[in-house]
Chain A
Amino acid sequence: GAGVSQSPSNKVTEKGKDVELRCDPISGHTALYWYRQSLGQGLEFLIYFQGNSAPDKSGLPSDRFSAERTGGSVSTLTIQRTQQEDSAVYLCASSLNRGNEKLFFGSGTQLSVL
């Protein structure tokens, strides 16, 4: 499709397991973002990729979280040794260029850690 694609849409895991969340941005978009949405709260910035530049990882909540973007396209957010407080919706977005532009969001991955 033409939009931002995220998979899986839902993920249930046990505490302590690792999970991988995938984001396929809109073709040609150089900027890619991950945000986390916890119940009843706004979106929390996690990480930003822009082209071949080093990503801004300042929003990652702990060293259990990491993300990669391969070939300037698909991105994977990995959470190691998941905890119950990691339960949230993880949203990916992309934009044509860097900066404060219109973001195109995916439908998110609902992560539930039991």
Chain B
Amino acid sequence: AQKVTQAQTEISVVEKEDVTLDCVYETRDTTYYLFWYKQPPSGELVFLIRRNSFDEQNEISGRYSWNFQKSTSSFNFTITASQVVDSAVYFCALSEAGSNDYKLSFGAGTTVTVRA
């Protein structure tokens, strides 16, 4: 069963537009962690954020912000005033508590293209 769903396969925007990436997850655990990773063309995934299930505060880091809503099992990611350097594949991932907490379940990824 798919634990993490990223419904948007590709998004294309013009520079300076905002872009929101959707992530819906599925788990029966009450303790879990959610992640976002960025994969630029170089191929190396870069960690962006980790959020635990007990912290529903939204987070902002520069032009990036995250909206965690347990009621809808969503952890959406917004890039404000996008730039060409934001072009990449973005992955949402889930880690469930327990002895296998090191296993990340990744979504299929959303390819973001920012055009100048």
Of the candidates A40, A42, A50, A59, the one whose C-beta lies within 8 Å of that of B106 is A42
* Chain B neighbourhood of A105, CB < 8 A: 37, 44-46
Q: Are A98 and B106 in contact (CB under 8 A)?
A: no
Tell me, yes or no, whether A43 is within 8 Å of chain B by CB: yes
Q: Are B103 and A45 in contact (CB under 8 A)?
A: yes
* Chain A neighbourhood of B47, CB < 8 A: 102-104
Q: Return A70 CB to nearest CB of chain B, in Å.
A: 20
| Interface stretch of the complex, out of B11-19, B71-79, B94-102 | B94-102
Closest A residue to B44 using CB positions? A107
Q: Are A108 and B43 in contact (CB under 8 A)?
A: yes
Interface members, chain A 37-54 (any B CB < 8 Å): 40-45, 48, 50
* Chain B neighbourhood of A33, CB < 8 A: 102
* Chain B neighbourhood of A21, CB < 8 A: none
Q: A41-B108, A42-B108, A100-B50 are in contact. Are A50 and B102 (CB under 8 A)?
A: yes
Of the candidates B46, B50, B91, B103, the one whose C-beta lies within 8 Å of that of A42 is B91
Give the CA-CA distance A43 to B6 in the complex, in Å.
13
Interface members, chain B 23-74 (any A CB < 8 Å): 33, 37, 42-47, 50
Closest B residue to A41 using CB positions? B108
Of the candidates A56, A102, A106, the one whose C-beta lies within 8 Å of that of B44 is A106
Give the CA-CA distance A90 to B69 in the complex, in Å.
33
Closest A residue to B9 using CB positions? A40
Q: Return A75 CB to nearest CB of chain B, in Å.
A: 15
Of B45, B50, B105, B107, chain A has the most CB atoms within 10 Å of the CB of B45
Q: Are B43 and A89 in contact (CB under 8 A)?
A: yes
**Extra contacts besides A40-B108, A42-B108, A98-B102 (17): CB < 8 Å:** A33-B102, A41-B109, A42-B4, A42-B109, A43-B45, A43-B104, A43-B106, A45-B105, A50-B102, A56-B100, A89-B43, A100-B33, A100-B50, A100-B102, A102-B50, A107-B44, A108-B43
